[in-house]
Amino acid sequence: MNSVRKLNKRQQAIALKYEQGHRAPHIVASGAGETARRILDIAIEHKIPVHRDDALAELLSSLNVGFEIPHEAYRAVAEILAFLYRTDDAWRKKRKDGLKSVSEEVKRRNN
């Protein structure tokens, strides 16, 4: 899932990953401008759902890659993930088939 917002005509994107057994999802990619566009392009290319939530993006953009989402974001992220899991069987199947993480793909493309 990615949150997107516009700030001073610059797009921002945050990619989250939840791994079973962890307390909360963590940030795997974050950026503004060109990096945000790359994150979104990769998500779209791999058919990873993209969700726009300006308030959530603002909160998560202050954190570094690798950090778990803060407690204040649990409910919003849980609602988004629950919706995705209920409505997108194809997305779930692709996740099980081993999609590369967005952060790995961003790093590969930046090199």
- Give the SS3 label for residue 19: coil
Contact 60, 27 (CB under 8 A): yes
- The one-digit pLDDT tens for each residue of the chain (111 residues) are 444 444 444 688 999 888 888 888 899 999 988 998 899 899 888 878 888 887 888 888 889 999 999 888 888 888 887 777 776 766 666 665 554 555 555 556 655
Strand order from edge to edge, sheet including 10-17: 2-7, 10-17, 26-32
Token pair listed for 62: 């202050």
Kindly tell me the burial class for residue 105, based on how many C-beta atoms sit within 10 Å of its own C-beta (0-12, 13-18, 19 or more): buried
2-110 belongs to which CATH class?
Answer: alpha beta
Question: What pTM was computed for the model?
Answer: 0.67
Q: Report domain extents, the chain.
A: 2-110
